[in-house]
Homo-oligomer: A and B are copies of this chain.
Amino acid sequence: MPGESQSRYDQKLVYVLKTSAAIFAEKGYHPTSIRDIARATGMSLSGLYYYFSSKEELLFLIQDYCFGTVLEESRRLLAGVDDPVRRLKLLIENHLNYFVNNMNEMKVLSHEANSISGDLFRKVNNKKRQYVDLAMGLVSEIAREHKVEGVDVRVATFSLFGMMNWIYNWYNPRKDVDAAGLSQNITALFLSGFLGGKAPQAEKIETGRESHLDRNVSVWQQ
C-alpha cells in the first residue's frame, strides 16, 4: 500500500515543520540556518532537502499549513450561524484559541509574513486576504446593523487583528489568562469598544469564565 509509505513521509514532514517552526519562532527565520534545523531534528543537512526544495519553501509550508487550518476551522465554525456579532465572536475565539495552542507557527505566520516572496508569498497572501475579508465583512455588517458612527471599519478591523496577532510579543501561558479568558477579554474589549456602549453587549460570552481582574494586575513585566 502506498498509504503506509506516504504516512511515514508525512509524519516526518510534520516533525520537520514543527521543529523548524519552533526555531524560527525563537531566533527568527533569517538568522536560522539549515544547519540549525539539521541539528535540532537530528538529520543531516542534505537529508532535509528531501522534504523541501529550499529554505523559503520550508517557511511556506509552515505558513500555508498553519493558515489553511485557521481558515478552514473558522469557516466550519461559522457555518450555520447568521448573527454577525455571534459570527465575529466565533472568529475571534477560534483565532485566539489556535494562536495560543500553536504559538510557534502563528508567530512565524505573523512575524515572517514578508520573509517570503514571489508565488509562495502570493499563495499565503491569498488566504490571508480571504480571512481579512471575512472579518472585515462581519465588522461592516455589525456597523450597519447597529448604526455605528465615528469609527472607520478598516481601522477597527485591523485594530482587532492587532490585538489578536500582537500576543506573541507578550503572552505567557504560565502567567496570563488561558485561551478562553483571552478570547473573552478581547471580544469584550473590541465589541463594546466598537459598539460604543449602544448595543446589548451585556450578553454573556459563550465561554463563560469568571473574571480574571484579580490576577497579574501588578505584574508588569513584558
- Please report A residues at the B interface, Cβ cutoff 8 Å: 28, 30-31, 111, 113-115, 125, 128-129, 132-133, 136-137, 140, 143, 148-156, 158-159, 161-167, 169-171, 176-177, 181-182, 184-186, 188-198, 201, 211-213, 215-217, 219-222
> Known contacts being A152-B215, A197-B201, is A189 close to B188, with CB within 8 Å?
no
Starting from the known contacts A158-B166, A158-B170, 5 additional A-B residue pairs (CB-CB under 8 Å) come to: A28-B30, A152-B185, A155-B181, A190-B193, A192-B193
Q: How many copies does the complex hold?
A: 2
Contacts of A164 in B (CB 8 A): 162
The answer to whether B150 touches A188 (Cβ under 8 A) is: yes
A21 to chain B, nearest CB (A): 16
Contact: B220 with A189, CB < 8 Å? no
Q: Using CB atoms, name the residue of chain B closest to A175.
A: B154
Contact A156 B189 (CB under 8 A): yes
Distance from A119 Cβ to chain B, minimum over Cβ atoms (Å): 18
Closest to A171 in B: B158
